[in-house]
Amino acid sequence: MLQYAFQRVLLALAIVFVAISALFTIMITLPGDPTTVLLGPRATPELRAAFRANMGLDDPVLVQIANFWGRVLTGDLGMDYNRNRPVAEAVFSALPHTMALVFGAIFWSASLGILLGAFSADNRNSWLDRVTGVISVGFIAAPSFVVALYSLLLFSVTLRWFPTIGAGEPGDILSRLYHLALPSFAIGLAWVGYVARIVRASMLETLGENYIRTARAFGLPRRTVIYGYALRLAILPAVQVLGVGIGGMLSSAVFAEIVFSRPGLGSLIYDSVSGRNYPVVMGSMLVAIGFFVTCALIADLVNAALDPRHRVKS
């Protein structure tokens, strides 16, 4: 297990390095001059040249990438020139809001998806199985930004069950959870369908295993066999899918944070890209990609710990 974990950690670090380096290259080679956005159209050529030199934009691409990683390794993500503050301060003040949104979406997708998938497998080939299948596919087909908009209109504007904007009062956990419920549900709803279909398929396969037949032969109750034994192994693929699905939830968080006017990495990246604020974009993307890769790594290690066959395959 230790060797397996070491290999996965090295792979995760390589993925982060390649992804950020490629994104950095794309960012600095895009057409347009960021000094025009940051300094305004009336800035003199001398001021623009000095600003570009200060940001290191005149250096070759490989030099800029090397300088960026050199700063990252020392814990320096750069400066936010728009607000004259460290990028790390802006990123890590927004990160908790996005993490809460993503983990809230995981809660909705895991709890509802596992129950729906297990119920569908328990009633396979019945009309209940067909209904849950249609519901699952419907959840998958619904775009998160559409769900966010209609959830806002229905539950916040029309029914007034949830607040429309904001992240809640600082320090008030109940207020935070109250403001988090609807946007996290809007993100997690699409993944309910994925988890349900995967759990159903995995559970049907697990029910044919020898140890399940043995448990039935010993006369254990049907519910105990299905939900106590089969479901425990059947949820492992769902754990892997949710770990990889963090990336999709992070991209959906951009729409949710804009629709519900929530602070977070999504809003920060959107504003920074619009303003061509390179340091904030790269710092935010580094943290977002690192967060995604870390969650996928944890899901992989959890699967390997629960099912040793994953270590043998790798």
Domain boundaries, the chain: 2-88, 92-313
The string of pLDDT tens digits covering residues 175-193 is: 888 888 888 888 888 788 8
For 65-89, the DSSP string reads HHHHHHHHHTT---EETTTTEEHHH
Token pair belonging to 104: 């809230």
The string of pLDDT tens digits covering residues 203-226 is: 877 777 777 777 777 777 777 777
Residue 218 CA to its chain's centroid (Å):
43
Q: Is 256 within 8 Å of 262 (Cβ atoms)?
A: yes
Q: Where is 54: in which H helix or E strand?
A: helix 45-55
Q: Of 257, 223, 234, give the one whose Cα is nearest residue 104.
A: 257
Handedness of CA 160, 166, 171, 177 (dihedral sign): positive
CA distance 219 to 151: 47
Q: How far is residue 188 from each of residues 86, 176, 285, 296, measured CA to CA in Å?
A: 32, 18, 22, 17
Q: Which residues, 6+ apart, have CB-to-CB distance to 112 below 8 Å?
A: 188, 192, 195, 196
Q: State the first-to-last Cα distance of the chain, in angstroms, to the nearest integer.
A: 11
- Which residue type sits at 201? A
Interior angle at CA 135, CA 134 and CA 139, nearest 5: 115
Q: Of 268, 273, 233, 229, give the one whose Cα is nearest residue 34.
A: 273
Interior angle at CA 273, CA 295 and CA 281, nearest 5: 45
Q: Which residues, 6+ apart, have CB-to-CB distance to 277 below 8 Å?
A: 34, 37, 38, 80, 81, 82, 271
Please state the rounded mean pLDDT for residues 14-39: 75
53 band by pLDDT with thresholds 50, 70 and 90: confident
Say what percent of the chain tops pLDDT 70. Answer: 89
Q: Where is 28: in which H helix or E strand?
A: helix 2-29
Q: Exposed (0-12), middle (13-18) or buried (19+): which is 134, by Cβ within 10 Å?
A: exposed
Please state the rounded mean pLDDT for residues 11-28: 82
pLDDT at 313 over 60: no
Q: Of 52, 40, 17, 87, give the one whose Cα is nearest residue 269.
A: 87
Please state the rounded mean pLDDT for residues 231-259: 75
CA distance 79 to 294: 25
Write out 31-44 in H/E/C secondary structure.
CCCHHHHHHCCCCC
160 band by pLDDT with thresholds 50, 70 and 90: confident
Token pair belonging to 201: 């398929």
What is the predicted pLDDT for the residue at 226?
A: 73
Q: Of 185, 187, 198, 181, give the one whose Cα is nearest residue 114.
A: 198
78 band by pLDDT with thresholds 50, 70 and 90: confident
Q: Is 238 within 8 Å of 294 (Cβ atoms)?
A: no
pLDDT at 312 over 60: no
Class of domain 92-313: mainly alpha
User: 272 vs 311, which has greater pLDDT?
Assistant: 272
Q: Where is 216: in which H helix or E strand?
A: helix 210-217
